[in-house]
Chain A
Amino acid sequence: MINAKKFNLLEFLKKNSVPLLFLALGMLGWVASGQPIPMVIKELVDRLSRNLILVLSLIIPITAGMGLNFAMVIGAMAGQFGLIFIKAIGLGGVSGVALAAAFSIPFAILFGIGTGAIMNRAKGKEMITGLILGFFANGLYQMVLLAGIGTVIPLKNPEIVLKAGVGLKNSMDFSLINYVLDRLIPIKVQLGYLVLWIPLVPIILVGLLCWFIVFLQKTKLGQNFRAIGQDKHIAEVAGINVDRTRTIAMVLSTILASFGQIMFIQNIGKLQTYFSHEQVGLFSAAALLIGGATITKATIGNAITGTLLFHLLFIVSPLAGKNLFGDAQIGEYFRSFIAYGVIAVAIVLYAMKKSRAKSQQDSDDMAS
């Protein structure tokens, strides 16, 4: 009896070693930072509802065997097109958010199809291709917003257009949609000296999204994703249109990323026109991996725990760095090292496994 229980504990530790490691790290950081609990909880609740949709948008491509979709920054750009649109016409509130989401959908579909087509030409190198594609799209995005606005796209609103009449300003105020979803159903909790708003509507939306992802797994399409994720060739033989299915996965991921970015700005209330989307892929991928996901397997649970743990580290590391080393910069560099490092380790582990399987096969071929 006791033996069985001990075995389970070991199994649990082994299965969840990555999230547990980061939990320990986060806790140590929190102790070192000396930040009060209510403050940390408030920040965590804020950041969870702000980032979770973005992190969830990574799950579908992983199921389809395409790895971490670093091209999700393109989805974030589509979301920002929607946001710029509502800012230009000055529509705020819940209807503004809804319109921004609706406006971004055609862009997200188009970008998703494009991304899918490019990924299908670079099979086996989806992650690096997605990363470079994100950089490339960022160049096009900047070109459109710097040179296209005021010339091809007739936009005059002096609040967002640069003085010369061409190009968008660096940063835009989005107080017109700030917290409109978070505080649509106002629930306040007194946490010590702080007032915590429970973002009920975003929680419900995230819940619906999770249900959608789970539901999708059970449909024919979801089974096709999994079949392709396991083995593209067998899926092809089984009559699945691999390229088309992978493109659908990309389109879905891109749409979710655009919604995620709109939710993010809704909470932050400010858009850095040329930078807000840049780090989205890095932080979302790192969060998902810290939650225990791998390059080939990710669940909603991974996304939720990962977002919590990653942002716990984010909240505490500057102050922890300051208290431990006398320099807040060290904490900030440490957290960006964690973000890049966890992705690097995940990719190395995945590639080692793949390479070992391949060399095994090679030597079998040689022997036969």
Chain B
Amino acid sequence: MKNPLAPIGSLWRGTTERFGYPKVFITLFLVLLCVLAVIQGQSMPGFLKDTLTRLSMIGVLTLAMVPGIVSGIGLNFGVSIGILTGLLAGCIGVELGFTGVGGFFLTNLVAIPISTIVGLGYGWLLNRVKGDEMTVSTYVGFSMVSLMCIFWLILPFKSPIMIWAIGGKGLRNTIAIKDTFGQALDNFLHIDMFGLQMPLGSLIWLAILCFLMWVFLRSKAGVTMSAAGDNPRFARAIGINVNKQRLLGTTLSTVLGAIGILAYAHGFGFFQLYVGPLNMPFIPVAAVLIGGATMRRVTISHVISGTILMQALLIIALPVISKIVPDGAFSEVIRIIVSNGVILYALTRSGGGK
């Protein structure tokens, strides 16, 4: 007699094999939350808007994971280094009085050379610690964030919207940039749906960057880089300079980290300095893993779908769960469990069993 559940079983196996357990579980969890939200009569267009806003904020940071994975350094837990250079460029932009859409792009232009130089140094270091990139990058990232805490206090910025009103020196913990170039892209270009403003401008910016990355990965340079990341010994044998490819990948990831935090701050309306960037890298790392990436393989669709899934989950979980359990801290707990659970799963799966 045939097992009546067999088709479901094989469908389950097929799905989990194709998309990976994290993505399937998160999707199911999200669907459950959506059903609950509808039953509770929550505002679905509101969720859609928030999810799109979060996608435009975090998408570029998640994209920064791609060159790291492709070039073989793995998950770039040290993307906080790029984030720091981006924040520095952002402060320079505010100091110089950049505003509006032009100001946003000018700030990105300031960020690129700074993050390139820092990224090259960081890549040089990672080439000397092969096999331990993730542990090294995590702690190098942590120490750079805490070192920069001192610099945020003593850097000679003068703009009154950035420094503490009392004492007259030292940058503030959070700097509001709504009046400079924050949300400039979306004020310039947005689309009205369900009576809400959808952030079209920043989504187009994300789409452009994703498209450029997609083109790069298919170019000769991109193919060379993934060959070096996939199988370094084989790549070396056919004459590819593996270290150079890794250096390029790390630098690209750092530059995207800098551009990414500017996109994040742009959507959020604030720079968060000091310990703000400390745990920031875990957000894009978890997002790209939820999307179905592994430590060796990643595509642009992993970036987009992972970011959407993770952010939608967090956005919808807050009101739904707070109706069931009246405690505000709970959605933060879910974020901690989901994002670290996914990273942990990837770490234990990545082989190294010997």
Stretch at the interface among A138-146, A200-208, A301-309: A138-146
Verify if A125 is at the interface (C-beta below 8 Å from B): yes
Closest residue of chain A to B167, judged by CB?
Answer: A327
Majority secondary structure of chain A interface residues (helix, strand, loop or mixed): helix
A-B residue pair count with CB separations less than 8 angstroms? 138
A340–B134 CB distance below 8 A = no
Verify if B220 is at the interface (C-beta below 8 Å from A): no
Closest residue of chain A to B340, judged by CB?
Answer: A136
B134–A146 CB distance below 8 A = no
Closest residue of chain B to A337, judged by CB?
Answer: B146
A340–B143 CB distance below 8 A = yes
Count how many chain A residues have C-beta atoms less than 8 Å from C-beta atoms of the other chain: 49
Contacts of B150 in A (CB 8 A): 330, 333-334, 337
Count how many chain B residues have C-beta atoms less than 8 Å from C-beta atoms of the other chain: 46
A139–B337 CB distance below 8 A = yes
Verify if A216 is at the interface (C-beta below 8 Å from B): no
Verify if B7 is at the interface (C-beta below 8 Å from A): no
| A362, B149: Cα distance in complex, Å | 41
Instruction: Give the most central of B326, B330, B344: most A CB within 10 Å.
Output: B344
Contacts of A333 in B (CB 8 A): 146, 149-150, 153, 274
| A233, B354: Cα distance in complex, Å | 8
Instruction: Report A118-138 residues with CB < 8 Å from chain B CB.
Output: 118, 121-125, 127-129, 131-133, 135-136, 138
Instruction: Give the most central of A133, A147, A340: most B CB within 10 Å.
Output: A340
Stretch at the interface among A13-21, A84-92, A97-105, A348-356: A348-356
B132–A136 CB distance below 8 A = no
Verify if B204 is at the interface (C-beta below 8 Å from A): no
The answer to whether residues A143 and B333 also contact, given A125-B135, A135-B340 and a CB cut-off of 8 A, is yes
Verify if B140 is at the interface (C-beta below 8 Å from A): yes
Q: Offer 7 A-B interface pairs, CB within 8 angstroms, sorted by A.
A: A118-B348, A124-B131, A129-B347, A166-B327, A341-B147, A348-B136, A355-B130
What residues make up the interface of B, taking CB atoms closer than 8 Å to A?
A: 77, 125, 128-132, 134-136, 138-140, 142-143, 145-147, 149-150, 153-154, 170, 233, 274, 282, 325-327, 329-330, 333-334, 336-337, 340-341, 343-344, 347-350, 352-354
Apart from A123-B354, A140-B337, A343-B143: 20 A-B pairs, beta carbons within 8 A: A121-B348, A122-B347, A122-B348, A124-B352, A133-B340, A139-B336, A146-B330, A147-B330, A330-B150, A330-B154, A333-B150, A334-B150, A337-B147, A341-B146, A344-B143, A348-B140, A351-B132, A351-B135, A355-B128, A359-B130
What residues make up the interface of A, taking CB atoms closer than 8 Å to B?
A: 118, 121-125, 127-129, 131-133, 135-136, 138-140, 142-143, 146-147, 164, 166-167, 232-233, 325, 327, 329-330, 333-334, 336-337, 339-341, 343-344, 347-348, 350-352, 354-355, 358-359, 362
